[in-house]
Structure 1
Amino acid sequence: MQILFFLLETVFFLLIGAALLRAWMNHLRIHMAAQPGRFVMAITDWLVQPVRRVLPKPMAQGRVDWGSLMSAVLLAFAYGGLWLGLAVSSVPAEASPLTSMLAIVVVGLRLLARVALQGLMVILLVYAVMSWVQPQSPLMSTLHRLCDPIVRPIRRFVPQIGGVDLSVLFLIVLLQVGLMLLA
């Protein structure tokens, strides 16, 4: 049963992470023809496009990609429902439908927050390593555009030491603390 939970979480982690990354890339106006845009579009289009069609017109316009964000939330709640369905032996038989719905929402939102924190941590790690190893890589431009809005405010408070920007490391530590609090 533990293997099934692991596989379920892995699949939903990837799908939710892709939907969140798609929303972030669209918010930053990063062209989706380059990687990771093509990958993200390929694995999320099946859900994002129908969600966009049912959104009210004002939500479909603007800088926020509500279709991708709502897709991530729907996937998180689907995960919560499947998780609860598989873990039904641990739920008391007298649990009300309201309790079950609350459990689905809590499990889903917890996974959504974890995906956001861990996904950002992975992007920041790749950004930091690439900036040291291959700073002229074409991927660095995309990584810089993804990370800079988040790292820029931290750079004001974390000084460079010996010419090394430690703001990314500081942010990774903060994200790790957030994950610990979430657990």
Structure 2
Amino acid sequence: MISGALAFLIQTIGNLFVIAVLLRFMMQLFRVPFRNPFAQFIVALTDFAVKPLRRVVPGFLGLDWACLLLAWLVEFAVVASGYWLNDFPFALAGGKVWPVMLGLAVVRLLSLAVYMIIGIT
């Protein structure tokens, strides 16, 4: 019972952070001016994680790829923790489960991006 509540809490907080990071990426993609209060809030909310990652992952084509990498890593952590809290047998599954979980994180990231685009328009 407590693991279900903890899984819900991790998924909710993780997905809210992923949405904020994806919003930051989409605002750069669509050239939204960053002088409005909402954009400043999103930047302030995600700066602590994006700025250190920018040192490792450079921007390309005018886009901040560190935002996408961060969103993918956080979504992977949410997926992995959800399976772990539901007693998934990682030792039995072996190393073949990790690429599947990485792919599942990509699919969930794309679905969140589609939901955001539908909600914005």
RMSD: 2.0
CA contact (8 A) 1:84 1:103 kept: no
Aligned partners of 1:106 and 1:33: how far apart in 2?
Answer: 35
State the Cα distance separating 1:9 from its structure 2 match. 1.4
Match of 1:131? none
Match of 2:42? 40
Aligned partners of 1:92 and 1:119: how far apart in 2?
Answer: 32
What TM-score, normalized by structure 1, do the two folds share? 0.58
> What one-letter code is carried by the residue in structure 1 that aligns with 2:108?
L
State the Cα distance separating 1:80 from its structure 2 match. 2.2
> What one-letter code is carried by the residue in structure 1 that aligns with 2:80?
G
Match of 1:114? 111
Greater fraction of residues in helix: 2
CA contact (8 A) 2:18 2:74 kept: yes
Where relative contact order (Cα < 8 A, 6+ residues apart) is larger, the structure is: 2
Aligned partners of 1:115 and 1:37: how far apart in 2?
Answer: 19
Match of 2:94? 96
Aligned partners of 1:106 and 1:68: how far apart in 2?
Answer: 18
Q: Which residues of 2 match residues 1-183 of structure 1 at below 5 A?
A: 1-55=3-57, 59-87=58-86, 89-91=87-89, 93-99=91-97, 101-124=98-121
Aligned partners of 2:55 and 2:90: how far apart in 1?
Answer: 39
> What one-letter code is carried by the residue in structure 2 that aligns with 1:119?
M
Gaps of 5+ in 2: none
The verdict on how the C-alpha distance between 1:86 and 1:103 changes in structure 2, with shifts beyond 3 A counting, is farther
Aligned partners of 2:8 and 2:52: how far apart in 1?
Answer: 28
State the Cα distance separating 1:22 from its structure 2 match. 0.6
Deviations 1:88-137 (A, max 9, x none): x24375211222x134313322321221122222222xxxxxxxxxxxxx
State the Cα distance separating 1:38 from its structure 2 match. 1.4
CA contact (8 A) 1:22 1:41 kept: yes
What TM-score, normalized by structure 2, do the two folds share? 0.83
What percentage of residue pairs aligned between the two structures are identical? 28
Aligned partners of 1:12 and 1:121: how far apart in 2?
Answer: 20
> What one-letter code is carried by the residue in structure 2 that aligns with 1:31?
P
SS in structure 2 of the partner of residue 62 of structure 1: coil
